[in-house]
Amino acid sequence: MQSSNQENSSAPLPVQWPADHSRLFSMAQPYLQHPHQIADFRFFEPSILLVRSGQLTLRHQQNAFLQLDNAEHLVVVAQHTLTNVSKRPDGEKGFFSSLYLGFSPTVIAAFYRDHSALVASLAPLTGFKTVPLDDELRDTLEHCLRGIGHGEQPLPSPAVQQHRLTGILIALAERGVLFMPRSSEPLSSKLTALMSAAPEFAWTAASASQQLAMSEATLRRRLVEEQTSFRTLLQDIRMHHAMTLLQTTRWSLSQIADACGYRASSRFSLRFKQRFGCSPADIR
């Protein structure tokens, strides 16, 4: 971890999430004027995608394939699904745009607790699939976006946000789509949820293990058992966060590097290219 600590030594303090570092959702609206591809992109949270303009292609390791070029379907993606992603601008409009909405473990767990009868007969989603965006589901999505602070300041209360997000989960369950709760997840997933809430923080195995109420040795041993490592998870989280910022903000490269816990833009760019096979500038 020595080289990682050097990269993160000047990282700012974490953002102020609730005391348990939980958050209710993640949201992004990518807007791209050039096609690009991402290999091995991991969806860290149960997610829904809506393509508004252009074409989205997902290809799973098990050769599952999905291509979407209209706003008549939602794409639903199970947590930790690893895919190759391709985004292509619309030929007439000249740009690609989409909506991404991810659900936190807090929301998923509450949904299971409060709607056990609804989920009893459903098997959790694996990989990804499309769901027709009928009028009722479209209205539910729009209602949700208005209730979670989509373009609003200040943000609505957590209670309002959770109520609106749960509405989406109910609508999906009624259409046969169920996301798996956090209680079924390994330690690597819990660690991912923790560090994803503040990717700019100077995380170490010691600080993360303290937040998860275990020893550093136990954390490292259990991650080895799950065939991963603290450093691998942290770098993957930061690179995926960087990809989101590159697609959804006009921040400078140095601002994005800072937001991902890197002091030097050059080191950040090197890590990004190693992970995705292209430079940050190629995304824009």
Fold assignment, 25-183: Jelly Rolls (2.60.120)
pTM: 0.75
pLDDT score at 38:
85
What are the domain boundaries of the chain? 2-17+198-283, 25-183
Nearest to 142 by CA among 116, 174, 172, 168: 168
Percent of the chain with pLDDT over 90: 56
| Multiple choice CATH, 2-17+198-283, 3.30.1360.20, 3.30.200.20, 3.30.365.10, 1.10.10.60 | 1.10.10.60
For 186-190, 228-232, 251-255, which range has the lowest pLDDT when averaged over its residues? 186-190
Nearest to 266 by CA among 282, 284, 253, 277: 253
**Residue 34: which pLDDT band, with cuts at 50, 70 and 90?**
confident
pLDDT score at 80:
81
CA distance 170 to 166: 6
| Residue 257, pLDDT above cutoff 90 | yes
Higher per-residue confidence, 130 vs 190: 130
pLDDT digits (tens, 9 = 90+) for 68-122: 887 899 999 998 888 899 999 999 999 999 999 999 888 998 999 999 999 989 9
**Residue 226: which pLDDT band, with cuts at 50, 70 and 90?**
confident
**Residue 61: which pLDDT band, with cuts at 50, 70 and 90?**
low
Nearest to 195 by CA among 171, 123, 187: 187
- Structure tokens given for 118: 């609804």
